Amino acid sequence: MTDAGPQPRTRLADLAAQAGVSTATVSRVLNGKPGVSPAARQAVLEALDLLGYERPERLRMRSQGLVGLIVPELTNPVFPLFAQVVESILAENGYTPLLCAQEAGGTTEDQYVEVLLEHKVDGIIFVSGLHADTSANLERYHALRSQGLPIVLVNGHAPDVDAPSVSCDDVAALDLAFRHLVQLGHRKIGLAIGPDRFVPTRRKVAGFTEAYARHLGENDAEEHIVTTLFTLEGGQVAAGELIDSGHTAIICGSDMMALGAVRAARQRNLAVPDDVSVVGYDDSPLIAFTDPPLTTVRQPVQGMSRSAVSALISEISGQPSPRAEMLFLPELIVRGSTGIARQS
């Protein structure tokens, strides 16, 4: 099949509007002409995909290799976001991503690794995998490295593993959330968090404890922490305990938990944020459109993903990346779920 000839003007205009470039740039990309920056070319390719156009044959890049991407689940929307961004960046660099999403009772991380090895992948990116579980055996990662397979670990630093590591600064995240609530007049602030065996949980607990001492001058932070599951239901249960014990504000370990906290407040005929303020974590897609829109701490998914892919590609090319953990600063996104503390 041969490439199509000049594209209809309507199609060029649509693509240009979607990509944010001129119709002349779109035409150059579609016809393989020089004089287009890599960023503009990528924008046009994305516009083709988003608008449902088939790419001309000349624009179908030959894959430089396969890269595995393993995420723990797709229920929590932050993991599909990581998957989408990482896959896009891999594609920009000519690699074909193979997404492996786990599910309770389904294929395990180790089973996915076996499949990826059978497909002779050039490397694997693990997002919040078993490397983040302090009770897990890290020998699985040592075995991959002993075979010479490049890997990158995202969110859950395992210093004994010979691999680049990328994480969000959970301690800084909790300080941002805590400081925001203190500035709103809250003095009884709780933390709803997931299982203690996970590295991000331990870091968030440490950040919460430090923030309690720094901002309120108290050293009893453990009395204000409820450990549960990183789910909506888990957040609901934990928030219920914290609300019943008099907390006026709750910081949650994920956006899903925060939605559960909002539900717990409403079950008690309390309003968010008039009676209880709630802060999430991640800034997952669509969180800005919840009722109320959720105040949350945003993980810099774009920056983290780009660094993870860059490190992996360097490893694949034989240029080792630094083993020191790359920590990315989060950002507090203030919306409608936090407000001035109610008076006693």
99: CATH: 3.40.50.2300
101 shares its domain with 154: yes
66 pLDDT above the threshold of 90: yes
Q: What is the pLDDT of residue 60?
A: 58
pLDDT in tens, 108-137: 999 999 999 999 999 999 999 999 999 999
Same domain (yes/no): 34, 155: no
Residue 336 lies in a domain: no
Tell me the pLDDT band of 342, cut-offs 50, 70 and 90.
confident
Residues 153, 218: one domain? no
User: What predicted TM-score, i.e. pTM, was given to this entire model?
Assistant: 0.84
Structural domain contains residue 52: yes
Under the banding of pLDDT at 50, 70 and 90, the label for residue 14 is confident
Domain count across the chain:
3
Q: What is the C-alpha separation between 45 and 49, in angstroms, rounded?
A: 6
Answer yes or no: do 41 and 160 share one domain.
no
The mean pLDDT of 254-268, rounded to a whole number, is 97
Q: Are residues 180 and 230 in the same domain?
A: yes
Instruction: Please tell me the least confidently modeled range out of 52-61, 83-92, 267-276.
Output: 52-61
Q: What is the mean pLDDT of residues 261-284?
A: 97
Strand partners, 237: none
Tell me whether strands 225-227 and 189-193 are parallel, antiparallel or unpaired: parallel
Greater pLDDT, 19 or 217: 217
The Cβ of residue 106 has, within 10 Å, a number of other Cβ atoms equal to 10
CA dist 312 to 59, 102, 153, 187, 291, Å?
24, 22, 10, 44, 39
Cα–Cα distance between 18 and 36 in angstroms, integer? 17
- Residue 57 confidence (pLDDT): 64
- Average per-residue pLDDT for the chain: 91
> Do 117 and 133 belong together in one domain?
yes
- The pLDDT score that the predictor gives to residue 5 is 47
Q: How confident is the model at residue 159 (pLDDT cuts 50, 70, 90)?
A: very high
Residues 161 and 309 in one domain: yes
Q: What is the average pLDDT across 304-333?
A: 96
4 is a domain residue: no
Could you list the residue range(s) of the whole structural domain that residue 100 is in?
A: 65-168+300-328
Q: 190 and 273 in one domain?
A: yes
Phi, psi of 152 (to 5 degrees): -135, 135
In a domain, 339, yes or no: no
Rounded Cα distance between 322 and 163, Å, is 8
Asked if residue 202 belongs to a domain, the reply is yes
Residue 2: inside a domain: no
Domain boundary among 40, 59, 78: 59
Q: Which CATH number covers residue 14?
A: 1.10.260.40
Examine residue 30 and state whether it is found in any structural domain, yes or no: yes
pLDDT grade for 1, boundaries at 50, 70 and 90? very low
- Pairing mode, strands 277-282 and 295-298: parallel
Nearest to 296 by CA among 305, 306, 285, 307: 285
The per-residue pLDDT for 54 is 76
Q: Please indicate, yes or no, whether residues 291 and 175 belong to a single structural domain of this protein.
A: yes
- Domain presence at residue 295: yes
Sorting pLDDT into bands at 50, 70 and 90, what band is 6? very low
CA 245 vs CA 189, 226, 239: distances in Å:
11, 11, 10
Cα(102)–Cα(120) distance, integer angstroms: 20
Query: Do residues 125 and 105 both lie within one domain?
Result: yes
pLDDT classification of 35: cutoffs 50, 70, 90:
confident
Judge whether residue 82 has pLDDT over 80: yes
Model pLDDT, residue 9 = 52
The reply to whether 283 and 324 lie within a common domain is no
Q: Which of 42-51, 137-146, 197-206, 327-336 has the lowest mean pLDDT?
A: 42-51
**Confidence band of 39 (pLDDT split at 50, 70, 90):** confident
Q: How confident is the model at residue 46, as a pLDDT?
A: 79
Residue-level pLDDT at 19: 84
> Which of 3-7, 143-147, 280-284, 323-327 has the weakest average pLDDT?
3-7
Residues 37 and 104 both lie in one domain: no
